[in-house]
Amino acid sequence: MNKIFIIIRREYLTRVRKKTFIISTLLFPLLYLALIFGMGFIAEKSKQSLHVALIDSSGYFTAPLLSKENLADDNSVITLVDKNADSVMADHKKAGYDGYIIVPAINWKQGAPLLFKANKAYGRSSTAAVEAKLNTIWTAIKKDSLQIDSLKQDILNQRLMVTPKNIQDETANAQYAEAIGYICGFLIYLILLIYGSQVMMGVMEEKTNRIAEVIVSSVKPFQMMLGKILGIGLVALTQFLLWIAFVLIIYNVGKASGNTGMASDMVGKMQQIFTSVNVPLILFCFGFYFLAGFFFYASLYGAIGSAVNEDMREAQSLSFPVTMLVIISIAMMSAAIADPTGPIAVWGSIIPFSSPIVMMARIPFGVPGTVPWWQLILSMSVLILSFTFTVWFAGKIYRTGILMYGKKPTWKELMKWAFRKN
């Protein structure tokens, strides 16, 4: 065990001291801030206020009605003009209008498509405010014509809502469960791809530098591979926890400064979501599937890294089947969220290559209501046995592959290395 701890310590300290680790750890909160505040800034700057001339031949769109809507929303302004179309077309730009709309002589029962004519092209988002104002007036016209008052309209607008409810787990909320399932599943997906490939790159680097030749002479391959995987796993966990801490700090600072903008709203919504589910169980399961899933895939990536040389194309070729398993798991996660008790969801949450992602997508829907305890226990047990086997499997390949250079192994040769008697 002492040798394993030494390897873990070496892997952990070596990686957390790297500039890439420090930069990426600090870069995420900055990207988070840029995403939150940048989206609001871009949305604000992308708003285009139009000044539109309206030529009305129907008699429905009067100046008082337009003025009322313009006061309610100043994003775009619609002005009723008493001119013919030819006159407006000739000098609308000189008069300060971005374009004009002609309303034909129509009946309130029919309606008609309207065209916004201008000297340059505008997108649908640019004319959305103009369209909304005209539709508000048009709706009021139809209500008056049909003699429908506000109370009657409210009655007509009432809808029947069907919300799924798990009677075995009253705390489960289907809407929030979907959001949490997607978040948890996608986070584990990113962790498996990013940090799993780091194990492969680390092994390849040691092989290239001939460091591994010295190490494998004093430790067993299983110890070497387990220590490396645990060390990199702790690095991933450290970085993940630091990111969470940074996000919480940013939110609390914004809240303390009285910022009620987009950042506070988004984090506040997340808090509301997580208060509606069994948070302790979700956190425990997330930690388990985070680590167990990482051990499973990292050992496979490590075996590939020990079998190839410094050629990245060769590594990508051998690692493609493993990467495809992760991508398939994401596809199965979407099916599991749509039907958490379906056969894809059940089998996907038990099979070890997909269970870290699929099971985490199902758990927010309720345990034991949606996910029986036997399925959860079976999934965890199978995953533990699987990553134990894959670590042993990777260690056997590592023992042989780390000392081989200049030859590209096949999958058949990798199997021979794994089951060769030493």
| Domains in the chain with CATH codes | 2-39+173-419 (no CATH), 48-157 (3.40.190.10)
Is residue 54 within a helix (H) or strand (E), and if so which, with residue range? strand 51-56
Q: For the residues 357-363, what does the mean pLDDT come to?
A: 89
Average pLDDT, the chain: 75
Q: Under a CB-based contact definition with an 8 Å cutoff, are residues 335 and 344 in contact?
A: yes
What's the pLDDT at 276? 62
Q: Retrieve residue 11's tokens.
A: 């892997």
Q: For the residues 323-346, what does the mean pLDDT come to?
A: 88
* Minimum mean pLDDT range among 99-103, 177-181, 251-255, 288-292: 251-255
Q: pLDDT band for position 264 (50/70/90)? A: low
Q: pLDDT band for position 1 (50/70/90)? A: low
What's the pLDDT at 379? 92
Q: For the residues 173-201, what does the mean pLDDT come to?
A: 80
Alpha helices in 166-261 (DSSP H): 174-209, 211-215, 221-256
CA 146 to centroid of chain Cα atoms: 47
Long-range contacts of the stretch 162-169 (C-beta < 8 A, 24+): 166/365, 166/366, 166/369, 166/370, 167/369, 168/366, 168/368, 168/369, 169/278, 169/366, 169/367, 169/368, 169/369, 169/370
Whether the model pTM is above 0.85: no
What's the pLDDT at 382? 93
User: Could you tell me the CA-to-CA distances from 400 to 160, 168, 299, 391 in Å, in that order?
Assistant: 66, 52, 15, 15
User: pLDDT: is 93 or 284 the higher one?
Assistant: 284
CB-neighbour burial class of residue 229 (10 A; exposed 0-12, middle 13-18, buried 19+): buried
Q: For the residues 248-275, what does the mean pLDDT come to?
A: 58
Q: pLDDT band for position 265 (50/70/90)? A: low
How does strand 99-103 pair with strand 51-56?
parallel
pLDDT > 60? residue 196:
yes
The string of pLDDT tens digits covering residues 57-96 is 777 787 888 888 877 777 778 888 876 666 666 666 666 7
Q: Retrieve residue 135's tokens.
A: 């539709």
What's the pLDDT at 113? 74
Residue type, 349: S
Pairwise CA distance, residues 203 & 41, whole Å? 44
Q: For the residues 355-382, what does the mean pLDDT come to?
A: 88
CA 248 to centroid of chain Cα atoms: 18
Q: Which residues have C-beta within 8 Å of that of residue 345, sequence separation ≥ 6? A: 332, 335, 336, 339, 358, 361, 362
